[in-house]
């Protein structure tokens, strides 16, 4: 009974991490490690607990150590956050951030170049 319920919740989080954050990995623990700063601290802590619960669920004696209320809370917290993440919005934000940096650098070096030309008396 514990194995089926736990595994269903862990599988859901696993697929949400893959779909929403485009994380790849053989296990939930690997995906949670790769998530790093993509998850807020509280969500990351709960996701780490889910990864630990996945390891416990694989061994029947250790499966009894899983706290079902904490598992439910962790699952709900991580799933609610991941459902709010929009992959298209993340991509758009990343592209706009890069374009902003490029535009700033062009303006900065263009201004420095014009200042250099002005200081040499060319302009």
Q: What is the mean pLDDT of the chain?
A: 93
* Across 5-9, average pLDDT: 86
On the 0-12 / 13-18 / 19+ scale of CB atoms within 10 A, 30 is: middle
- pLDDT score recorded for residue 1: 43
CA distance 117 to 50: 61
* Across 73-97, average pLDDT: 96
Which pTM does this prediction carry? 0.81
């Amino acid at each position: 009974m514990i194995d089926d319920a736990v595994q269903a919740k862990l599988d859901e989080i696993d697929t949400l991490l893959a779909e929403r954050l485009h994380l790849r990995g053989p296990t939930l623990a690997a995906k949670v490690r790769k998530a790093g700063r993509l998850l807020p601290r509280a969500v990351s802590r709960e996701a780490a607990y889910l990864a630990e619960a996945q390891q416990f669920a694989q061994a029947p004696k250790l499966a009894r150590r899983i706290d079902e209320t904490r598992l439910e809370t962790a699952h709900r917290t991580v799933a609610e956050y991941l459902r709010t993440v929009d992959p298209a919005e993340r991509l758009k934000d990343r592209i706009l951030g890069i374009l902003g940096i490029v535009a700033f650098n062009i303006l900065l070096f263009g201004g420095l170049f014009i200042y250099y030309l002005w200081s040499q008396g060319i302009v």
